[in-house]
Amino acid sequence: MPDQLELSELLRRSFRAHRPQGRSELGDDTNFFEAGYTSVLLTAVLADLVTKGVELTLVDMFRHPTMRLLQAEAARRHGVPDPSPTADALPWEQP
């Protein structure tokens, strides 16, 4: 099972490989569609991810349209604990 860092790197590599021509790399909170990704490009990204063992669907990419949100969903599906602090965490429990 991939860890959070491996999932993040797999996602970034796949999006980079299918980046729209003339566009810069995605930021964590950049919407895929605003960055020029189309459903055809997202399907290519998804196919690449699936071959690498990442369990996501095209619907996930529409529901979680930023790198940060999609990484969190991929981590959830793979059972990887979310390292981000929760709203319920006490200040000394947060990283």
Domain ranges of the chain: 4-82
Residue recorded with tokens 């299918």: 18
Long-range contacts from 81-86, C-beta under 8 angstroms, 24+ separation = 81/4, 83/4
| DSSP tally for the chain: helices H, then strands E | 4, 0
- CATH code for residues 4-82: 1.10.1200.10
pTM: 0.79
Task: Give the phi and the psi of residue 63 in degrees, each rounded to 5.
Answer: -75, -30
Q: Given this model, what pLDDT does residue 84 score?
A: 59
pLDDT band at 82 (very low <50, low <70, confident <90, very high): low
Q: What is the mean pLDDT of residues 50-70?
A: 94
Of the chain, the percentage scoring pLDDT greater than 70 comes to 83
Cα–Cα distance, 5 to 57 (Å, whole number): 20
